[in-house]
Amino acid sequence: MIEFITPRTFLFSTQTVVFSVLLFVFYIFYRTFSRKYVKYWLMSIGALNLSYLIKSLVPYSSRNFSSDSWQILAELLLQICQYSFLIFLVFGVYIAKKNKELSKEILTSGIAVIVILSVISTMFFAFDPSQAFNHFYLTISLPSFIFGCTFLSLACYLLFDKKSYFSSQVLMYFSAIFGLRYLMHSFISIVALTEPWFRQLELFLLYFDVAAHSILGFTLLIWMQGAERFATLSAISRAQYLGKHDSLTGALNREQVMAKLSDKMQELTHANKINKNQVKLAVFLIDIKQFKFINDTYGLKVGDYILGEIASRLNHSVFIPQAVGRLSGDSFMFVIEFEQSSHVDRAVNHIHELIERCFRYEQQEITIQGSIGYCFYPDDADKSEDLLQKANLALHHAETNNIASVAFEEGMQAQGRHLVLMEKQLRSAIANDEFILYYQPQLNLFTNKLEGVEALVRWQHPEKGLLSPGDFLTELETLGMHNEFDNYILAKACQASERWFKLYQRRVAIAVNITAVEFQNEQLVTNIQMLLHKYGIPSKYIELEITENVVMTDITRAMDSIVKLQSMGIKVSIDDFGTGYSSLAYLRDLPIDKIKIDRSFINEVAINDSDLTIVKSMIDLSHGLGKRVLAEGVETIDQLNLLRHLGCDAVQGYFISKPLPESKLVRYLKKK
């Protein structure tokens, strides 16, 4: 067998070993990093390696097998390998540049073209000795032409690619030279096939290809190593960027905006010592109103888009901000320099204009509003954290009082300290169960029997005694403890209902007031279901009262919540009806059970014709829409008789009974 091994066979065998090692390196690289383009280069190098293996075996095999079929099969496999090497190389370069996977359709089409082209070029004229030249053109000249055009196209693609680096340029030059080599060979093989020097040229090109393929393999290795190094550097840069910027909006994060504010303060302190003109800083805190409503209504993608757009608008403001940062959620910081107070006024108006300008997302137009609190350096503080705190106090004052913009004032600090103290006391009161419920009976005017009770909260303060809601509800709302407090009161009402049934075998409907924030809470229905199940209370004995203004804030969501509650058997009533806006217009659409007429209309209903007309209209309209009516604040017999005459369903007020502690409500519960 040794005598059959020619120098060419030895060369091809050596290349097979070399490319097997290279193939193993590519495989390890792909297993480690799982890059898509490496997978295609792995297949390209594998096809090239297989072609060298076939070339090394064919000369020896041809001496042992006389059948031409073996030669044709080997030639077919060789054609498939060479075309596969080419197409997978190009696919890999494309994926490495574009960083996206090829579709299955493209991949399947490419493989189909390879097989068809290989079969045509190999089988045509293969069995007719008189067509040897034509067969040579199909198996040698045509592939050379295709290779030449493909490599030159690849070189042009790399030449005009904007992301060019060393290994990319090496591959570009390689492709250009290799493309010219194949085109030249294709042309010469047609016009000079019978020339004596053509055999010498083919021998030269044989060694040229071996060297070129080795260079190509190592060029691809350099590309992969460079790509991983670039990816590592990009990841480091990205991590450094995210360490300083908010990932969603691109604005500075809290830590960095505070650091930048501190640096700017030091810079101004030094500059103001030298210059006569005293430059100051205005620190604005911006909060988006009802941003949760935006997320719930339009979706999180729209919410993220709006946050990013706000950051962009602030960064590109004509006031040239010194710092723009996203502190949390929908809260932004905006810092500018100014010399005259009039500049601040214009800046405030400008910020509102930026936020209120219409946002457009996929043919949706969204308009929002913001609240602004701001303070000044060095007038209000000389430390960045103190400036943030005071701007936050001003923002809180703006949101609490529904004011668009508020500048910090000294009194706000005392209010802030008061809120801190109150929060501690309120949380302690909930933990120690210091809140108690008083119950005001509601009289059914048709049966003259107890219809239900309204639960009214009181605080049994360990030092101040019994406090009414006016002494702590404002702080509860300001501190954002609505959800926690409402759930706590609902639980106490359910506990009382369970207790009354065990002691007196009596079920009485308890009406509980729900705040605006809790009524917008998606977990409200779930929480009530859990409480009813826990204490074994039929749903008809719990009634929720919501103020008219809660409904008007978002009538669509209000209707959805009411429908869900009613499907559970829970009654929903509108409290303080008539004090909101567009009351009668919305009454038609609301799926509520009961209307509670506000006490302001009852006070003079017996002596004021206007109030009488209004109350009568409310009762008639409510009955016409199938809703029951309860009048609040009944304090005289005349009011009671008049309401009975007008057809009012139920009343409550001091004439019936004042709010009673549970110990005094017993006399009502014992009556059946």
482 has pLDDT over 80: no
| Residues 649/446, Cβ–Cβ less than 8 Å | yes
Can you give the pLDDT at residue 59? Answer: 58
| Residues 638/427, Cβ–Cβ less than 8 Å | no
| Positive/negative CA dihedral, 17, 19, 25, 28 | negative
Can you give the pLDDT at residue 101? Answer: 81
Residue 623 CB partners (closer than 8 Å, separation 6+): 629, 647
Residue 103's SS3 state is coil
CA distance 35 to 228: 10
Can you give the pLDDT at residue 63? Answer: 42
Can you give the pLDDT at residue 236? Answer: 58
Among 293-307, 312-326, 634-648, where is mean pLDDT lowest?
A: 293-307
CA distance 73 to 75: 5
268 has pLDDT over 90: no
Mean of pLDDT values over 34-44: 87
- The backbone region for 570, taken as left when phi is positive above 0, alpha when psi lies in -120 to 50, beta otherwise, is beta
pLDDT, tens digit, 9 for 90 and up, residues 340-355: 888 898 999 999 999 9
Mean of pLDDT values over 49-77: 70
pLDDT, tens digit, 9 for 90 and up, residues 373-408: 999 988 888 888 888 888 888 888 888 777 888 888
Can you give the pLDDT at residue 575? Answer: 81
Which band of pLDDT confidence, cut at 50, 70 and 90, is reported for residue 364? confident
pTM check: above 0.75: no
96 has pLDDT over 80: yes
Mean of pLDDT values over 112-120: 86
Which band of pLDDT confidence, cut at 50, 70 and 90, is reported for residue 649? very high
Q: What dihedral angle (degrees, nearest 10) is formed by the CA atoms of 544, 549, 551, 557?
A: -110
Q: Which of 560, 555, 530 is nearest to 542 (CA)?
A: 530
In single-letter form, the type of residue at position 339 comes to E
pLDDT, tens digit, 9 for 90 and up, residues 506-561: 889 999 988 766 666 667 788 888 999 999 999 889 998 887 555 444 556 667 77
623 has pLDDT over 60: yes
Can you give the pLDDT at residue 61? Answer: 45
Among 43-57, 511-525, 598-612, where is mean pLDDT lowest?
A: 511-525
The angle formed by the CA atoms of residues 235, 240 and 243, to the nearest 5 degrees, is 125
Among 164-168, 297-301, 609-613, 635-639, where is mean pLDDT lowest?
A: 164-168
The DSSP secondary-structure symbol of 580 reads S
pLDDT, tens digit, 9 for 90 and up, residues 298-316: 788 888 888 889 989 998 9
Mean of pLDDT values over 74-102: 87
Q: DSSP for 37-88, please give it.
A: HHHHHHHHHHHHHHHHHHHHHHHHHHTT---HHHHHHHHHHHHHHHHHHHHH
